[in-house]
Amino acid sequence: MPASTSDTPRPRILFVGEAVTLAHIVRPMVLCRSLPSNEYQVAFACDARYLGLFDAVPQELHPLETVSSQDFIENLAKGRPVYDAPTLRRYVEADRELLDTFQPDLVVGDFRISLGVSARLAGIPYVTITNAYWSPYSRLGFPLPEHPLTRVIGVRPAEFFFQRLQPMIFAMHARPMNRVRREYGLPSLGHDLRTAYSDADVTLYADIPEFIPTAPLPENHQWLGPILWSPEGTKPEWWEQIPEHQPIVYVALGSSGQNRQILPRVLEALARLPVTVMAATAGSRLANVPDNAYVADFLPGTEAAAKASLVICNGGSLSTQQALAAGVPVLGIADNMDQHLNMSCMEREGVGIRVRAGQATADRVHEAVSTILTEGGYRERAANWAPVVNSRDSAAWFASRVPEWLSLGKRG
């Protein structure tokens, strides 16, 4: 698209992030910042909880209600729908007010599933960012996430029941969205939760295409590719002095999951191994920091992964993609379904080990770390993925497709 002149209004593009976890802000923020300001007028809408991690944000910011991360995580942990119908109704009305205020020509959302209603009602082309393991075209099975039932009857019996009840569970989770769509005169999306999560005019998968098996995708489902990002800011004083005479383990359990409970166990396990630890605590205060651990609230994840022999994270796609970009294997301590799905792909490719958050004792973490560090195949296989991850410039590809997506509104 040629640069706009003073006589040619720039297309208006609204990016919306659902701030229940950091990933849903990072991905649209990276893409928003990739668009030339002389060609597009952009705005970003989200709850402000993660904005302090970015050194630069779009000039036009709009506050947007998002449920608390704690409520979101609690709903996941208890197997409840993450959004009930009253919440979705509030979201739709907040979206509609935002769309009326900014008057975008294109909306790009990340897990703001209410845009599937509000953007359609406004007649605005809508692009959503998601992961391919949430696609209705994914060929992955669904592992059992952490759930209270696992603590009552054990993981294996709970898995037995979950696999048989999974279609009913997904239908229950899809029900609030279908109810709200009906109220606004839109057709049902059916009983598969994955359809609600991926519903848009264009669906973008922020994944490595070769990594997640899918059926042939329709034309409007496309591979965006990995989004690689690290928090900006000053590195800790110890960054340049960290010892390198033994393997370095980078620990970043992220903004979701049982971080405060699990991190001390991870550090305890690593204290018993001949490793040096770099740990990002995400603001958690630690009662005890082992002698071999260097900690900070946040670390530049891409650079930390490049220093490391192993990354320990919650198994989410942002952290695992950082690790694979550096050719480093992963120990993923997975809690919710998203993390279990992503780590199931890591395990299938032999580049990581998944430990259930509910079973992440110091002994289990010690065992998994020892396995990855002593069996060279993990590092070799991860190194083979590095050129694949780094071969795609996702932001540049996104920018190249924007004119096509803008034309959807003109055709409509």
The candidate with the shortest Cα–Cα distance to 140, out of 188, 75, 203, 205, is: 205
Question: At residue 160, does pLDDT exceed 70?
Answer: no
pLDDT for res 103: 98
Write the CA distances from 224 to 127, 221, 271, 392, 400, integer angstroms: 11, 9, 39, 9, 11
Alpha-carbon distance 248 to 292, whole Å?
Answer: 10
Query: Quick one: tokens of 104?
Result: 């975008």
Residue 207, SS3 per DSSP: coil
Residue 152, SS3 per DSSP: helix
User: Which CATH number fits the domain 12-225+393-411, given the four candidates 2.60.40.650, 1.10.357.10, 3.40.50.2000, 3.40.50.300?
Assistant: 3.40.50.2000
Question: E-strand spans in 117-262?
Answer: 126-130, 202-205, 221-223, 248-252
How many residues are listed for the chain in this entry? 412
Q: How far is CA 117 from the centre of its chain?
A: 22
Question: At residue 411, does pLDDT exceed 70?
Answer: no
Write the CA distances from 2 to 10, 37, 109, 134, 404, integer angstroms: 10, 12, 25, 36, 14
Alpha-carbon distance 352 to 321, whole Å?
Answer: 12
Instruction: Give yes or no on whether 12-225+393-411 and 239-390 have one common fold.
Output: yes
Question: At residue 270, does pLDDT exceed 70?
Answer: yes
pLDDT for res 407: 94
Residue 331, SS3 per DSSP: strand
Going from N- to C-terminal start, the domains of the chain cover 12-225+393-411, 239-390
* Mean of the per-residue pLDDT values of the chain: 92
Residue 1 confidence class, pLDDT cut points 50, 70, 90: very low
Alpha-carbon distance 389 to 231, whole Å?
Answer: 19
Question: At residue 61, does pLDDT exceed 50?
Answer: yes
User: CA torsion sign, 87 to 89 to 93 to 99?
Assistant: positive
Question: At residue 218, does pLDDT exceed 80?
Answer: yes
Residue 105 confidence class, pLDDT cut points 50, 70, 90: very high
Reported as type and span, the H/E element at residue 173 is helix 155-183
Residue 25 confidence class, pLDDT cut points 50, 70, 90: very high
88: CB partners within 8 A, 6+ apart? 113, 114, 117, 176, 177, 180
CB of 237 within 8 A of CB of 162?
no
Query: Quick one: tokens of 249?
Result: 């383990």
In this prediction, residues 404-409 reach a mean pLDDT of 93
Alpha-carbon distance 249 to 370, whole Å?
Answer: 11
CB of 305 within 8 A of CB of 326?
yes
Q: How many CA atoms lie within 13 A of 313 on its CB side?
A: 30
pTM: 0.94
Candidate from 9-13, 87-91, 146-150, 343-347 with smallest mean pLDDT = 146-150
Candidate from 78-82, 141-145, 199-203, 403-407 with smallest mean pLDDT = 141-145
Amino acid at 96: R
CATH topology of domain 239-390: Rossmann fold (3.40.50)
Candidate from 11-20, 257-266, 345-354 with smallest mean pLDDT = 257-266
Higher pLDDT, 161 or 139: 139
